[in-house]
């Protein structure tokens, strides 16, 4: 029986539990948070909805033992961005949390894959992999799965086509140095850069700049309005969990340890990757133009520098 453990019952952790429960991804869900009142309340509320979703069991605790035997552990606990704060500014506090958390997790769920969502997600994925000593493929981050869904949504809305027909990725850091992969984007098999369909707009240079700015600044905008982003990351994480637990071999831009990827190494960041029950099985070599290749290298440098500053 599949078991998902979620660390942190805040806005993100609770919404991942909700999305996962509605989609019936796991039969057993466990939430762990140091705030006992919060985790109890979230689990009670979720349990009251069980009648309306595929059958599952949900439990919560401030005791890490609740995560025992999990197949996947999703880490969402820790500090989040305050208004105007970048994700990188959270690094120090959240790395310290991982120093305590990771050994505890390894004890109770030694066979689990670790999926990092807490920000800065690329830095923390690297740190969690180092602290755990687990093989790189078993530790990965939600990366730019969310950014890519924002990207696809904005392209789809501009061209007035279904978002499911847009295939376009944001790669690199889940953060300010991320890179849009325009050159490989397609809409219904038509290369996006050549897109032209009567009644379905075109994509000018100005449109591309505006769309990418919106993607990069989306979290800042949402945090200004409601203090947290939760729904889309909840659904994005549920899809990653499905890819793992259903052994889907799904291609997703998750963050994982790269070594010798298009000249990039010793860093965690997002590139399209095949995700299955073993974790990140393979990273794919996407065709890149010169700007994209250079942008990805710079993004890797930014993340690596943050990792080094933290002493890893
Ligand atoms: P939140 O403040 O609502 O929740 C964080 C929870 O973590 C709190 O309930 C807190 O009690 C708990 N916590 C703190 N330290 C803990 C510990 N040591 N063990 C267990 N629980 C602990 O924050 P949120 O809005 O849920 O965001 C959580 C994280 O997710 C942030 O770092 C945020 O930046 C990140 N995030 C990532 C993405 C992404 O795409 N990767 C998207 C949205 C948010």
Using one digit for the tens of pLDDT, what is the confidence trace for 250-301? Answer: 999 999 999 999 999 999 999 999 999 999 999 999 999 999 999 999 999 9
Cβ within 8 Å of residue 284, ≥6 positions away: 251, 271, 272, 273, 274
Asked if the model's pLDDT at residue 310 lies above 90, the reply is yes
C-beta of residue 154 within 8 angstroms of C-beta of residue 180: no
At 131, is the pLDDT very low, low, confident or very high (cuts 50, 70, 90)? very high
Residue pointed to by tokens 């602290």: 131
Going from the Cα of 197 to the center of ligand 1, the distance in angstroms, rounded, reads 43
Which residue of 18, 33, 114, 144 sits with most ligand 1 atoms within 8 Å of its CB, as the best mutation to test the pocket?
33
Using one digit for the tens of pLDDT, what is the confidence trace for 170-187? Answer: 999 999 999 999 999 999
Residue 133 has a CB neighbour count (10 Å cut-off) of 9
**Whole-structure pTM value:** 0.98
Q: Report the C-alpha gap between 105 and 109 in whole angstroms.
A: 6
Specify the DSSP class assigned to residue 289. Answer: -
Using one digit for the tens of pLDDT, what is the confidence trace for 92-129? Answer: 999 999 999 999 999 999 999 999 999 999 999 999 99
């Amino acid at each position: 029986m599949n078991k998902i453990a979620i660390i942190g019952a805040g806005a993100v952790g609770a919404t991942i539990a909700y999305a996962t429960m509605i989609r019936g991804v796991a039969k057993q869900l466990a939430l762990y948070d140091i705030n006992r009142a919060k985790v109890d309340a979230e689990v009670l509320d979720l349990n009251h909805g069980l009648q309306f979703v595929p059958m599952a069991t949900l439990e919560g605790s401030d005791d890490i033992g609740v995560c025992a035997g999990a197949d996947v552990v999703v880490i969402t606990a820790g500090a989040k961005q305050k208004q105007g704060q970048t994700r990188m500014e959270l690094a120090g506090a959240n790395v310290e949390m991982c120093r305590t958390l990771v050994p505890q997790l390894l004890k109770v769920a030694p066979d689990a894959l670790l999926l990092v969502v807490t920000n800065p997600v690329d830095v923390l994925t690297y740190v969690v992999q180092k602290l755990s000593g687990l093989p790189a493929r078993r530790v990965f981050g939600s990366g730019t799965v969310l950014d890519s869904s924002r990207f696809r949504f904005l392209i789809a809305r501009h061209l007035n086509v279904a978002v499911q027909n847009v295939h376009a990725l944001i790669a690199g850091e889940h953060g300010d140095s991320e890179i849009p992969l325009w050159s490989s984007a397609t809409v219904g098999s038509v290369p996006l850069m050549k897109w032209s369909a009567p009644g379905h707009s075109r994509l000018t240079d100005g449109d591309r700049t505006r769309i990418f700015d919106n993607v990069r600044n989306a979290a800042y905008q949402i945090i200004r309005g409601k203090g947290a982003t939760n729904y889309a990351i909840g659904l994005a994480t549920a899809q990653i969990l499905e890819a793992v637990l259903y052994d889907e071999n799904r291609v997703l831009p998750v963050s994982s340890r790269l070594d010798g990827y298009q000249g990039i190494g010793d860093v965690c960041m997002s590139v399209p990757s095949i995700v299955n029950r073993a974790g990140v099985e393979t990273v794919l070599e996407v065709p890149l133009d010169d700007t994209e290749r250079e942008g990805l290298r710079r993004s890797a440098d930014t993340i690596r520098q943050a990792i080094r500053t933290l002493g890893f």
